[in-house]
Amino acid sequence: MDFAENLDLIRQRMAAACARSGRAADSVALLAVSKSHPPESIQAAVRGGQWLFGENKIQEARAKIPLCPGPTRWHFIGHLQSNKVREAVEMFEMIQGVDSLNLAQEISNRAEQAGKIMPVLLEVNVAGEASKFGYPPEQLLAELNRLNDLPKIEICGLMAIPPYAPAAEKARPYFRRLRELRAECQQLLGAPLPHLSMGMSGDFEVAIEEGATLVRIGSALFGERPRCIQAPAN
């Protein structure tokens, strides 16, 4: 698979989805999910003009990011353990997937020590799946003000991973639910939450139609991830 061709095709499909839903083409950003792919793949992406990447393991990111210099920017998209927060705050421009007050508190503390304000997205378990991380919507609404009171995080929006389904249309109600939940959160906070991170290789067009501002795309750009070699947990 040729990365430049894949990237071109994804950009065209994103633009078409924007056009279909009456949105500006620049209202959606592409996060290239580079987890489990080597630095060479990322360097090829940079040559194609892709600078924004997503990683889900601190250990892997720690090894990889220094090998990918240039204008690259990185989002953490995995489940973050509190003992990895310090490093995450240093390496990433945004932490997607904050799903508890404890974690948010730890991020705020570590950001304070690092002298920065950490942009985060709050992860929502939109389908109530037992196997998934993320806030149940009711709990998110209940904790939102306390999250917002933490001094050194900036809540930039919501993210979700809907249940896997071979048909992209099946994800539409969950994307819509996330958009509606964002509206509720904005009303509670009295402030805008610019980002909705939703949509992956199989369903990003539907996500864009439902308002995604960040789509997280891995396999449709880089090819299938090696599945036999499991990265170490962290």
Ligand X SMILES: *Cc1c(COP(=O)(O)O)cnc(C)c1O
Distance CA 223, CA 81 (A): 28
The token pair that represents 181 in the structure block: 């939940």
Q: How far is the CB of 153 from ligand X (least distance, A)?
A: 19
Given the complex with ligand X, which of 75 and 182 has the nearer CB atom? 75
Interaction mask 52-91, ligand X, x per CB under 6 A: ----x--------------------x--------------
Distance CA 162, CA 159 (A): 10
**If binding is defined by CB under 6 A, does position 157 make contact with ligand X?**
no
Q: How far is the CB of 125 from ligand X (least distance, A)?
A: 13
Q: Number of helices (H) and strands (E) in the chain: give both, helices first.
A: 9, 8
Query: Considering only residues 127, 201, 223, 234, which one is a binding residue for ligand X as defined by CB under 6 A?
Result: 201
Query: Considering only residues 161, 178, 181, 196, which one is a binding residue for ligand X as defined by CB under 6 A?
Result: 161
Number of other CB atoms surrounding residue 5 within 10 Å: 10
**If binding is defined by CB under 6 A, does position 33 make contact with ligand X?**
yes
**If binding is defined by CB under 6 A, does position 100 make contact with ligand X?**
no
In terms of C-beta density within 10 A (0-12 exposed, 13-18 middle, 19 or more buried), how is residue 47 classed? Answer: exposed
Distance CA 155, CA 119 (A): 6
**If binding is defined by CB under 6 A, does position 126 make contact with ligand X?**
no
Given the complex with ligand X, which of 105 and 201 has the nearer CB atom? 201
**If binding is defined by CB under 6 A, does position 234 make contact with ligand X?**
no
Beta-carbon contacts of 5 under 8 Å, excluding residues fewer than 6 positions away, are none
Distance CA 139, CA 124 (A): 10
Q: Which residue, judged by CB position, is nearest to ligand X in the bound state?
A: 218
Stretch that binds ligand X, among 8-16, 68-76, 186-194, 198-206 (CB under 6 A): 198-206
Place of tokens 């979700």: 160
